[in-house]
Amino acid sequence: MSGRVLLSVLMGTALVPFASAHVALWHPSMWGFNVTDQTFSYDNRPVAPLMQMPFSQWWFHNHLSYPPNAGDFFELPAGGTATAELACDKGATSYWPSSQGGDVRQGDSPCPNSPTSAYHTNGIDDLKGCSLAITYKSDPNDVQPEDLAVFSVNQTCVWTRFTDFQIPAEMPACPEGGCICTWNWIHSPDSGSAQMFLTPFRCKVTGATSSKAIMTPQLARRCGADPANGVTEATPSNCTVGAKQALYWWQTERVNMFEGQYSPPFYNDLYDFKDGAQNDIFGDSDVAAAAPSSSSQKAATTSSAQAATAASSTAVADNQNETVVETSTSSSPAAASTTATTTSPKKCKRNAKKGLTESKRSVKKEATEKRSNTAHHARNLGRFVHDSTVH
């Protein structure tokens, strides 16, 4: 084959649009960086969408056995900007030398020679945003979905290959083994099937000057204006304040979002994910104090579960019979400490009664919060999980 013919073939290949295009964040720090469509018995490339999958397949994109090389980290400059490359194929990024099809880059396009529908949008007004989330754990086997807190959002995503993420200035340094991050994206329902995208990667905060720990992330709640579902005004009082979990949706298990097929959750104002750095995610505690050992984490998890069960049981008892509440809370630390004193019997009695009253108020507060959260999720579920019948 002559050089001219070979050049024509290569140019023709580069101009062929991606037949089945989706998007991933590409970087050597990611799990599955060299996974191809031949690695698994099904298409599990980093760009492959996740939909109606069991936990073992969608979590870490089932790439836990394909980790990054030691020392590969995606850097997050505290108070600065981290630029990620989002593309339909590794060949469309700066890392094209290790791709199957070679260099197919086309400037800032995430999907060269393809319409915007290749990255699931009908135009810039149809973008729904994407996010970066982080956990200060280094061992992927210790990480659970609930551990990851969203710390940066780009609401005009996916639109360009080079996509900027603003990093909060108060991000603390990662442990010696680094942190684990995810790139998360759920696109508009107007251009593609119900699906989510997730890219796990090793990350490291650089230039850290703060030691504040990120708060335990909570479930994000639908609180913005939602014209597509007849909600014209936002409800700020329903927004989750502080650190929020990433959105896990449309899988067969371990999801935290139950919205229906045509009302997916998004990384934008609909769930109070503001564009840019999420600066409200930090608590008052120090990051060292907020990072227990593996054994203490297990104990804390068990203790929390027992406490939740006890609180639930006590709350039920409180609704049924207040005498039962007083009996069950008399063994609380407050009551125990008052009965252990050597002061006069009358003072002991007053202290014990005060301890019981405070315990009972705490129980009632927990019960009220539980009922409020349960009612909220019931409303969301009833409103969105069956929306396919409306559309």
Asked if residue 67 has pLDDT above 70, the reply is yes
225 Cβ contact partners less than 8 Å away, ≥ 6 residues apart:
231, 232, 233, 234, 269, 270
How far CA 255 is from CA of 146, 237, 293, 332, in Å, comes to 10, 24, 27, 35
* CATH 2.70.50, domain 17-286, yes or no: yes
Domain ranges of the chain: 17-286, 294-389
Tokens of residue 316, six digits: 């039920």
Annotate 115-150 with b (16+ C-beta within 10 A) or e (fewer): ebebbbbeeeebbbbbbbbbbbbeebeebebbbbbb
Asked if residue 323 has pLDDT above 60, the reply is no
User: What pLDDT digit, counting tens, does each position of 18-35 carry?
Assistant: 445 699 999 999 999 999
The model's pTM: 0.72
User: What pLDDT digit, counting tens, does each position of 194-243 carry?
Assistant: 999 999 999 999 999 999 999 999 999 999 999 999 999 999 999 999 99
Percentage of the chain lying above the pLDDT 90 cut:
61
Residue 190 pLDDT: 84
- In the chain the beta strands, taken as DSSP E runs, fall at 24-26, 74-77, 81-87, 130-135, 149-154, 162-166, 179-185, 197-206, 212-214, 276-277, 282-286
Give the phi and the psi of residue 236 in degrees, each rounded to 5: -55, -30
Sign of torsion, CA 367 371 373 374?
positive
User: What pLDDT digit, counting tens, does each position of 41-54 carry?
Assistant: 999 999 999 999 99
User: What pLDDT digit, counting tens, does each position of 331-386 carry?
Assistant: 333 333 333 333 343 443 444 444 444 444 544 444 444 444 444 444 444 444 33
Furthest CA-CA distance within the chain:
105
- Quick check: 273 and 133 in contact, CB under 8 A? no
- What is the arithmetic mean of pLDDT over 135-156? 98
- Is cis: bond before 241, omega within 30 of 0? no
- What is the arithmetic mean of pLDDT over 168-194? 94
Residue 360 pLDDT: 45
